């Protein structure tokens, strides 16, 4: 069986001990097959009432701790995790399934493959609900938006990203969505020049707050939003559309 990158993943049996290095996927696993989730990163904040072992961060996982958990499968993401860690885990004999998520459809398809084909758990009800929700047409009229995700240096959501596609499905036109970079460095002056109708400030990966972020955009409408709703793919997709539409009206 091949992962989203087309890499063969040898699985002798259905995985029963899983380590997830992706917060979105950790939540999906904790909701759907909690008994199989034995390890997650420190950033995996939504694991329900399950308490898997912590294996450090998405960019610096503790590979020795992962190996000690004896996983049947490690789940990673092309964007969130380093190829070096994936390669070294594989070299240690641990199967790694790498997901590639650059759109809402990618997320829905990848999650469906993971749960039905890899984990033999069937399609979760939340995934069916999310699929129905995101089939709805985008509302009109379109409005323009910029989405900073970091400061010092300032970075924004750019082209070919899951979040960019999600914005389009909300009827929001990303003013930095047509360049070559997925997460370009853009200082506040450039955002002011682009003059979006809205500046969305998520609480992750940078934790924008009422006192940290809006002051950089005087005279512009800023909206603080949940990073989980804006950037995660998993059970959050069931409610994210309505939550974000309400915030961006």
Residue 99: phi, psi to the nearest 5?
-95, 155
User: Could you give the CA distance from residue 205 to residue 186 in angstroms, rounded to a whole number?
Assistant: 16
User: Could you give the CA distance from residue 104 to residue 37 in angstroms, rounded to a whole number?
Assistant: 24
pLDDT (tens, 9 = 90+) of the chain, 249 residues, equals 999 999 999 998 999 999 999 999 999 999 999 999 999 999 999 886 778 999 999 999 999 999 999 999 999 999 999 999 999 999 999 999 999 999 999 999 999 999 999 999 999 999 999 999 999 998 877 899 999 999 999 999 999 999 999 999 999 999 999 988 999 999 999 999 999 999 999 999 999 999 999 999 999 999 999 999 999 999 999 999 999 999 998
Domains of the chain with bracketed CATH? 18-132 (3.40.50.1980), 143-247 (3.40.50.1980)
User: Could you give the CA distance from residue 134 to residue 93 in angstroms, rounded to a whole number?
Assistant: 38
- Residue for token pair 């909690």: 34
CA distances from 219 to 193, 209, 210 (A): 12, 17, 15
pTM: 0.93
The two structure tokens encoding residue 149: 């995700």
The number of beta carbons lying within 10 Å of the beta carbon of residue 7 is 13
């Amino acid at each position: 069986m091949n992962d989203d990158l087309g890499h063969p993943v040898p699985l002798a049996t259905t995985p029963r001990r899983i380590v997830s290095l992706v917060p979105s996927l950790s939540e999906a696993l904790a909701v759907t097959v909690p008994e199989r989730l034995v390890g997650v990163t420190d950033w995996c904040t939504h694991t329900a009432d399950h308490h898997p072992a912590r294996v450090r961060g998405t960019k610096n996982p503790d590979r020795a701790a992962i190996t000690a958990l004896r996983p049947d499968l490690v789940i990673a993401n092309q964007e969130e995790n380093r190829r070096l860690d994936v390669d070294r885990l594989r070299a240690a004999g641990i199967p790694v399934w790498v997901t590639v998520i650059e759109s809402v459809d990618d997320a829905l398809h990848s999650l469906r493959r993971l749960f039905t084909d890899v984990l033999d758990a069937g399609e979760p009800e939340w995934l069916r609900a999310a699929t129905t929700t995101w089939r709805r047409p985008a509302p009109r009229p379109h409005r323009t938006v910029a989405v900073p995700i970091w400061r010092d240096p300032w970075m924004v959501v750019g082209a070919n990203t899951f979040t960019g596609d999600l914005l389009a499905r909300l009827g929001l036109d990303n003013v930095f969505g047509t360049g070559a970079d997925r997460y370009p460095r853009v200082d506040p002056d450039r955002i002011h020049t682009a003059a979006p109708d809205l500046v969305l400030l998520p609480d992750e990966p940078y934790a924008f707050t009422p006192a940290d972020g809006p002051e950089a955009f005087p005279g512009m409408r800023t909206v603080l939003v949940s990073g989980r709703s804006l950037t995660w793919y998993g059970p959050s997709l069931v409610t994210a559309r309505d939550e974000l539409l309400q915030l961006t009206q």
